[in-house]
Amino acid sequence: MEKRRLQLFRGESVFQHPYVFLVTVILSIIFIDPFRIGPLGDHDYKPVKHDVASYKKVMENWPADNRSRLGYGKLEFVDQVYGPESLEFDRSGRGPYTGLADGRVVRWMGDGFGWETFAVVTPNWSEKLCANGNKSTTPTQSKFEHRCGRPLGLRFDTKTGDLYIADAYYGLLVVGPEGGLATPLATHDIEGNPILFANDLDIHSNGSIFFTDTSKRYNRLNHFLILLEGEATGRLLRYDPNTKETHVVRDGLAFPNGVQLSKDESFLLFTETTNCRVIKYWLEGPQKGKDYIFANLPGFPDNVRLNDKGQFWVAIDCCRTPAQEVLSNNPLIRSIYFRLPFKMSFLARLMGMDMYTVISLFNENGEILEVLEDKKGVVMKLVSEVREVNGKLWIGTVVHNHIATLPYP
Ligand SMILES: *[C@@H]1O[C@H](CO)[C@@H](O)[C@H](O)[C@H]1NC(C)=O
Ligand SMILES: *[C@@H]1O[C@H](CO)[C@@H](O)[C@H](O)[C@H]1NC(C)=O
Ligand SMILES: *[C@@H]1O[C@H](CO)[C@@H](O)[C@H](O)[C@H]1NC(C)=O
Ligand SMILES: *[C@@H]1O[C@H](CO)[C@@H](O)[C@H](O)[C@H]1NC(C)=O
């Protein structure tokens, strides 16, 4: 018995059958992808099950925007700003300020003055190396991103006028009200682990800075691998200005992204992009130190921002599909699927994943107050942040070269 089985695998009989051979070769190409043509290339890819609410359940309770109101948005500053993820205004109301794919933080100085470079995150920033204009949001910039910086999250401290920056490569930094070269505050946590992918931040009135580090394994350029794998090594961190130390508040998160304190600072919200949800983390009261699911979403959330009424705008890239859910729940199938020798965009389209956008307003209890969509992605194809300022929504996008605006309410 033992002998016969051995013979079978010596490759003399079975593998010489043409069909078996063909199937074996195809399978091994898929599994091993020797030419590294699949989207995963030579990455050590280990998919795990996503911890995500059922698509059907989420959609049952998700109101549709029948009028597709985001489609009435206006694109501004086209080809003047490159991948403006986060939008901020200073205490005298100037702005927006935004972080660009070329590594700069810029601010709008009004008609006649235009965009002005406000800050950079590294002394190595130079026009020659980094200023790629509107090519900055294309793969052209990939080689330079880690050298030029990629400011993602921006927040002004309203008391001091200082601007805090979460940069995907340079960690947490701060720059004074006059701008210039930003000073690094945190590049490592208290145990000496590097901060690999700082993403967004918020400032507590006691001076502590809460910020996200999206992954311990993948940097921003490889962020799609975090999504595909479902790996959960991201963290919520707190920088303490008194001790200058960075504490780990929450570990084991799946693509932690946007952070926002509540108006009374009794809790904060952060998004877990891979798991399509918003988490509420209590800072005060009987639930202090505990977290709960605040909202399950139809797509992949990015930043969260507070409006004047203490409500939360969440930017969501859409959307989940039933086919994508099968992959999400089955790491093995996902592993095979993304080793198919096709481009990522093709594989994504095959799953029915069209790019369009949804933004949503929540109250403090996680109840949906408003949903705005651009169902066909006519005007807005990907949104990263929504800021409500003086009757207007300002909408940033990490991959396109414009800022969108929409009168609201
Ligand atoms: C959207 O349209 C559907 C079907 O046409 C309708 O049942 C639903 O009430 C509408 N929702 C809103 C918010 O108007
Ligand atoms: C600037 O670039 C040099 C050469 O690439 C590198 O050794 C140095 O660490 C960089 N400095 C910073 C602050 O990133
Ligand atoms: C850059 O700007 C030019 C001129 O406005 C435009 O034709 C081109 O499509 C833009 N490229 C990108 C990548 O946005
Ligand atoms: C500031 O508040 C946060 C949130 O409640 C808390 O974790 C931190 O210890 C406080 N820091 C100081 C210096 O009081």
122 lines ligand 2 (CB under 6 A): yes
Atom of ligand 3 nearest to the CA of 137: 13
At 351 the pLDDT is 62
Nearest CA to ligand 4 atom 5: 283
**How many CB atoms lie under 10 A from the CB of residue 294?**
21
CA gap 85, 396 in Å, rounded:
5
Q: What is the CA radius of gyration of the chain?
A: 23
Tokens representing 70?
């985001």
CA of 256 to the centre of ligand 4 (A): 21
> Of the ranges 13-22, 89-98, 114-123, 189-198, which one carries the lowest mean pLDDT score?
13-22
CA gap 31, 124 in Å, rounded:
41
Atom of ligand 3 nearest to the CA of 133: 1
Span 44-69, average pLDDT = 83
At 202 the pLDDT is 98
Sketch out the chain's domains with CATH numbers: 1-32 (no CATH), 63-319+354-407 (2.120.10.30)
**CA 220 to chain centroid:** 9
At 361 the pLDDT is 98
Q: Which position has the higher pLDDT, 211 or 231?
A: 211
CA gap 402, 379 in Å, rounded:
11
b/e for 36-59, b at 16 or more Cβ within 10 A?
eebbbeebebebeebebbebeebe
Phi, psi of 375 (to 5 degrees): -55, -35
At 9 the pLDDT is 39
Give me the residues paired with residue 392 across strands: 389, 407
Q: What is the pTM for the complete model shown?
A: 0.87
Q: Which position has the higher pLDDT, 303 or 25?
A: 303
Nearest CA to ligand 3 atom 12: 134
Atom of ligand 4 nearest to the CA of 206: 1
At 52 the pLDDT is 84
CA of 64 to the centre of ligand 1 (A): 7
Q: Which position has the higher pLDDT, 348 or 397?
A: 397
pLDDT surpassing 50 at residue 86:
yes
At 155 the pLDDT is 98
At 59 the pLDDT is 87
> Of the ranges 97-101, 186-190, 268-272, 353-357, which one carries the lowest mean pLDDT score?
353-357
Report yes or no: 340 and 347 within 8 Å, Cβ to Cβ: yes
What is the tens place of the pLDDT at every residue in 11-21? 344 445 555 55
Tokens representing 360?
């949503």
Q: Which ligand is nearest to the CA of 210?
A: 4
Q: Which position has the higher pLDDT, 275 or 322?
A: 275
High-pLDDT (> 90) share of the chain, %:
68
CA gap 208, 269 in Å, rounded:
15
CA of 172 to the centre of ligand 3 (A): 31
What is the tens place of the pLDDT at every residue in 178-205? 999 999 999 999 999 999 999 999 999 9
At 8 the pLDDT is 36
DSSP-based helix, strand, coil % in the chain, nearest 5: 20, 35, 45
The β-bridge relationship of strands 171-175 and 180-181 is unpaired
At 326 the pLDDT is 74
CA of 132 to the centre of ligand 3 (A): 11
pLDDT surpassing 90 at residue 55:
no
High-pLDDT (> 70) share of the chain, %:
83
> Of the ranges 3-17, 110-124, 375-389, which one carries the lowest mean pLDDT score?
3-17
Contact residues of ligand 3, CB 6 A cut-off: 79, 134-135, 138, 401
At 64 the pLDDT is 87
Span 110-122, average pLDDT = 96
CA gap 227, 81 in Å, rounded:
26
pLDDT surpassing 60 at residue 134:
yes
